[in-house]
């Protein structure tokens, strides 16, 4: 009875530790390949386009609605303390430090981690990964490294764009719904925003981009056979990327701002 209970607890714990170890080794292997030739620049360019450029609409739409809703919420909350004037600065700080990178990261996780896992998983089950090996090409270097590098580089740009669009969303709601003066709103935004507010969000974005592509590649490379296997890999990639983004966000926020 007791040993059964302990076994029931111990098995998933051991499996979780083993999974963490496998992901860590996978990440280390990708990092190890970063500076060693050959470099697949064409694949990097394609990945930058697919991960960065094509994610702009979803990140932009997420940011503009979030910025607008944030302005409404802060105005409603601030009015309880006669502090409605903090709306521009809190929207800007909230977007740049937290909501821009986190929501951008989650949207990119949904869009990119899933597509990477599905693409690489399908390549695995249709023997395209084996074909790469027989053609003297390291699949990790050819498939995973360009995607991870592209996501790590593209995500800060997406976050910066999302920050700007989110602040613009707050400004739009501020001047149209909350009777703010346009020039005063923008002046408050700029005056209270510090470089590190933006910089910390961009660093978070780079980390989240790395996580998204890493999870997509890891689950794709380890996909089981058949449509069900690829489906499971895709789901696992999105779930694990999302959870890791939220966990990493907390850790980074502690590191950046706890003092």
Partner 1 sequence: MIELRDVHKRFGENRVLQGVNLSIASGTSMVIIGGSGTGKSVLLKCILGLVRPDSGTITLDGQDVTTGDRDAFLARFGMLFQGGALFDSLRVWENVAFRLVRGPKALPKAQAREVAVEKLRRVGLKPETADLYPAELSGGMQKRVGLARAIAAEPEIIFFDEPTTGLDPIMAGVINDLIREIVVEMGATAMTITHDMSSVRAIADNVAMLHGGVIRWTGPVEEMDATPDAYVQQFIHGRADGPIESVR
Residues that bind partner 1 (CB under 8 A): 38, 46, 123, 126-128, 130-131, 133-137
Distances, alpha carbon 219 to alpha carbons 122, 144, 245, in Å = 11, 11, 16
Nearer to partner 1, 119 or 197 (CB): 119
Nearer to partner 1, 73 or 128 (CB): 128
Find the shortest distance in angstroms from Cβ 201 to partner 1: 33
Assess contact for 245 and 109: CB atoms under 8 A.
yes
SS3 118: helix
Find the shortest distance in angstroms from Cβ 40 to partner 1: 9
Nearer to partner 1, 134 or 259 (CB): 134
Neighbours of 245 (CB within 10 A): 25
Q: What share of the chain is helix, strand, coil (3-state, %, to 5)?
A: 90, 0, 10
Find the shortest distance in angstroms from Cβ 49 to partner 1: 12
SS3 79: helix
Nearer to partner 1, 136 or 259 (CB): 136
CA-based max dimension of the chain: 71
Nearer to partner 1, 90 or 148 (CB): 148
Burial (CB count within 10 angstroms: exposed 0-12, middle 13-18, buried 19+), residue 204: buried
Assess contact for 187 and 174: CB atoms under 8 A.
no
Find the shortest distance in angstroms from Cβ 139 to partner 1: 11
Distances, alpha carbon 58 to alpha carbons 53, 63, 165, 251, in Å = 10, 9, 12, 26
State the Cα angle at 52 between 48 and 53, rounded to 5°.
100
Find the shortest distance in angstroms from Cβ 128 to partner 1: 5
Find the shortest distance in angstroms from Cβ 129 to partner 1: 9
Nearer to partner 1, 32 or 38 (CB): 38
Find the shortest distance in angstroms from Cβ 142 to partner 1: 9
Nearer to partner 1, 126 or 228 (CB): 126
């Amino acid at each position: 009875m007791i040993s059964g209970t302990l076994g029931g607890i111990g098995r998933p714990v051991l499996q979780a530790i083993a999974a963490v170890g496998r992901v860590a080794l996978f990440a280390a292997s990708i990092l190890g390949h970063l500076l060693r030739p050959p470099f697949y620049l064409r694949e990097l360019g394609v990945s930058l386009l697919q991960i960065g450029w094509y994610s702009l609409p979803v990140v932009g739409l997420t940011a503009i609605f979030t910025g607008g809703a944030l302005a409404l919420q802060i105005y409603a909350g601030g009015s309880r303390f006669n502090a409605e004037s903090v709306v521009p600065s809190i929207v800007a700080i909230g977007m740049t430090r937290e909501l821009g990178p986190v929501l951008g990261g989650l949207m990119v996780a949904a869009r990119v981690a899933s597509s990477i896992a599905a693409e690489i998983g399908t390549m695995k089950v249709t023997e395209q990964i084996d074909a790469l090996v027989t053609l003297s090409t390291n699949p990790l270097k050819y498939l995973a490294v360009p995607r991870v590098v592209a996501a790590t580089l593209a995500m800060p740009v997406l976050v910066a764009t999302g920050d700007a669009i989110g602040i613009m969303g707050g400004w739009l709601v501020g001047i149209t719904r909350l009777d703010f003066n346009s020039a005063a709103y923008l002046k408050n935004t700029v005056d209270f925003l510090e470089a590190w507010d933006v910089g910390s969000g961009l660093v978070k974005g780079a980390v989240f981009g790395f996580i998204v592509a890493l999870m997509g590649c890891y689950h794709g490379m380890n996909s089981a056979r058949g449509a069900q296997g690829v489906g499971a890999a895709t789901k696992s990639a999105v779930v694990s990327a999302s959870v890791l983004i939220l966990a990493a966000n907390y850790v980074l926020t502690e590191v950046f701002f706890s003092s």
